[in-house]
Amino acid sequence: MNDFKISFTMSVQKIFIFISVFLAYNCAFASIVISNGLTHTHKVKESMVYKGIITIQNTAEFSKSVKLYQKDYSYNANGTSHYNDFGTSERSNLQWIKLNTNLLKLEANGKANISYEITVPDHMDAGSFWSVIMVEPTDEIKPSNDKPGVQIKSVIRYSIQIITTNEKPANALLNFENINLAKQDGKRILEIDIANQGQLYHTVESSIEIFDNKSGNHKGNYKSSRLSLLPNNAKRFTIDLSTITPGKYSAVILAATHEEQVFGINIELDITDE
């Protein structure tokens, strides 16, 4: 990894930095919490209407206001996420979804259900379609004159995936885009970039079966965490191989979906002392 330095000159006394954090998991860091999950999946049929609920909770001792709005959503294996206006995704269901409100005030320690309605079009392609509903606090952030220097204020925005999958026969296809050995926090990590090139949303677990090149003995089966994977998107799966001694090995890498579809690739694995 290349070393780099960043230098800058600050010519003002107070700079207010607003950091937007898009959360892909249920996090209670902020006083606004989504308590019924950040991924909502629906099995749908053409021309039908479906309903769902987003439960929002305010854990603060004072009232909070939030706004809700919709975006198309995509991501890359390098961890970059994109939240775009409608029209950027060929598998967007954004225009199928209507919220019962875009603004909400939650009393102290209060909870509310926001309902949404999905109207499936009369004709749709096979597979999964999705978009996200953003939930963002709207309380005014006022600068303080008490302290000089840089002041940082974080704004937590939740991204709630609404995924619809129809009953038409659809293709499932996972592709291994990149496989790499890396060091992370002193551990030897196998990085596997997997792209979903099919038509269906999956949750995916990657694993590796390792065999000694000389003896052919089985050295173990190692697994990644299970991650969600949307069509036309890619994620990086990581597997800890720190316990494998240096040497040359044959291996099979597998990617298994929750529907028990399995994709695999054979590789040669050269683990060194470095």
Tell me the CATH number at 210.
Answer: 2.60.40.10
Q: Say if residue 73 is in the same domain as residue 153.
A: yes
Q: Which residue has the tokens 């749709």?
A: 124
Q: Say if residue 161 is in the same domain as residue 39.
A: yes
Q: Are 179 and 266 within 8 A, CB to CB?
A: no
Q: Which residues of 23-33 are buried (b: 16+ CB within 10 A; e: fewer)?
A: beeeeeebbbb
Q: What is the pLDDT of residues 231-240, one digit of tens each?
A: 999 999 999 9
Q: How far apart are CA 177 and CA 175, in angstroms?
A: 6
Residue 16 has pLDDT above 60, yes or no: no
Q: Say if residue 121 is in the same domain as residue 150.
A: yes
Residue 263 has pLDDT above 60, yes or no: yes
Q: How far apart are CA 85 and CA 94, in angstroms?
A: 9
Percent of the chain with pLDDT over 70: 82
231 lies in some domain:
yes
Could you tell me which of 268, 266, 263, 250 has the C-alpha nearest to residue 210? Answer: 250
Where residue 139 falls among pLDDT bands split at 50, 70, 90?
low
Residue 213 has pLDDT above 80, yes or no: yes
Q: Are 234 and 193 within 8 A, CB to CB?
A: yes
7 lies in some domain:
no
Is residue 251 classed as helix, strand or coil in its secondary structure? strand
Q: Say if residue 157 is in the same domain as residue 222.
A: no
DSSP 129: E
Q: Say if residue 24 is in the same domain as residue 150.
A: yes
Average predicted confidence (pLDDT) for the chain: 87
Q: Say if residue 128 is in the same domain as residue 227.
A: no
In sequence order, what are the residues at sequence separation of 6 or more whose Cβ sits closer than 8 angstroms to the Cβ of residue 227? 203, 204, 205, 235, 237
Q: Pick from 142, 166, 190: which residue ends a domain?
A: 166
Can you tell me the mean pLDDT for 151-171?
87
What's the confidence (pLDDT) of residue 230?
98
Q: How far apart are CA 183 and CA 189, in angstroms?
A: 6
Q: How far apart are CA 69 and CA 187, in angstroms?
A: 41
What's the confidence (pLDDT) of residue 156?
80
Q: Are 229 and 194 within 8 A, CB to CB?
A: yes
239 lies in some domain:
yes
Q: Say if residue 108 is in the same domain as residue 206.
A: no
Where residue 44 falls among pLDDT bands split at 50, 70, 90?
very high
Q: Say if residue 186 is in the same domain as residue 266.
A: yes
User: Which tokens belong to 24?
Assistant: 């892909």
Domain count along the chain: 2
User: Which tokens belong to 50?
Assistant: 């479906």
Rg (CA), the chain: 23
Where residue 152 falls among pLDDT bands split at 50, 70, 90?
low
Higher-confidence position of 23 and 192: 192
